[in-house]
Amino acid sequence: MKRFLASAVFSLALGACHLGEPLLPSPNGDRDSRLLGAWHNPEEPGATLQINPEGDRSYRFSYDAGPEGGKERGFGAAKMIFVGYHTDLPGGVRLLSLELKEPAPKELELPPWLPVGYDAKPDGTLIFKLLDHRALPPAGDGEHPYAKVPGRTLWEHLAKVAATPEGRARLFDSDTALGPLHRKRAP
């Protein structure tokens, strides 16, 4: 199912598995140059996701829903900034550990870290994938049950799941795929 970029990024921030700390404290993989640039959904021309290098091995994700995108949801101009890096699992699974910087996670009542996967397609489109909660270990109850689970514990569990083809196949929830996003062309 296609999702609009504005809705997708906001739901990414609100509806995904958020952690109180990153899966790993530093990157274990280099940047993927295919992610860099400005992205949009053709059905929502006012929204842009800009992905830039940050430091040696990290990224800065700047999302702007545009003036109309923010009005639709009643929270003004929707802008979000994430900083993140790779926490790659065995079997070639590339994960990003993203830290929500703006708005402050406390404003949204969220823990700051968000693990996501992605698929850079040969046709040049990009799809972000949320972890399937069924691939995660039991974490207790509550709105954000993984906020108190150590990131390293979750990473070790995900590494075991990703070690087999069957595990890799169930890591992501296909119903939550965000995209396809297209490279935004200069006006």
The residue extents of the domains of the chain are: 5-183
For residue 14, what pLDDT is reported? Answer: 57
Name the percent of the chain in helix, strand, coil, to the closest 5: 30, 35, 40
161 touches 88 (CB < 8 A):
no
What are 54-89's pLDDT values in tens digits?
999 999 999 888 766 554 444 444 788 999 999 999
For residue 59, what pLDDT is reported? Answer: 98
Average predicted confidence (pLDDT) for the chain: 84
For residue 163, what pLDDT is reported? Answer: 93
For residue 155, what pLDDT is reported? Answer: 93
What are 102-135's pLDDT values in tens digits?
988 888 888 899 999 999 999 999 999 988 888 8
For residue 141, what pLDDT is reported? Answer: 78
The two three-digit tokens of residue 58, written as one number = 């990290």
170 touches 163 (CB < 8 A):
no
What are 27-46's pLDDT values in tens digits?
999 999 999 999 998 777 78
* Sign, CA torsion 91/92/93/94: positive
* Sign, CA torsion 18/21/23/29: positive
| H-helix or E-strand spanning residue 167 | helix 165-169
How, if at all, do strands 79-86 and 178-183 pair?
A: unpaired
For residue 52, what pLDDT is reported? Answer: 97
* Per-residue pLDDT at 160 exceeds 80: yes
3-state secondary structure of 56: coil
3-state secondary structure of 97: strand
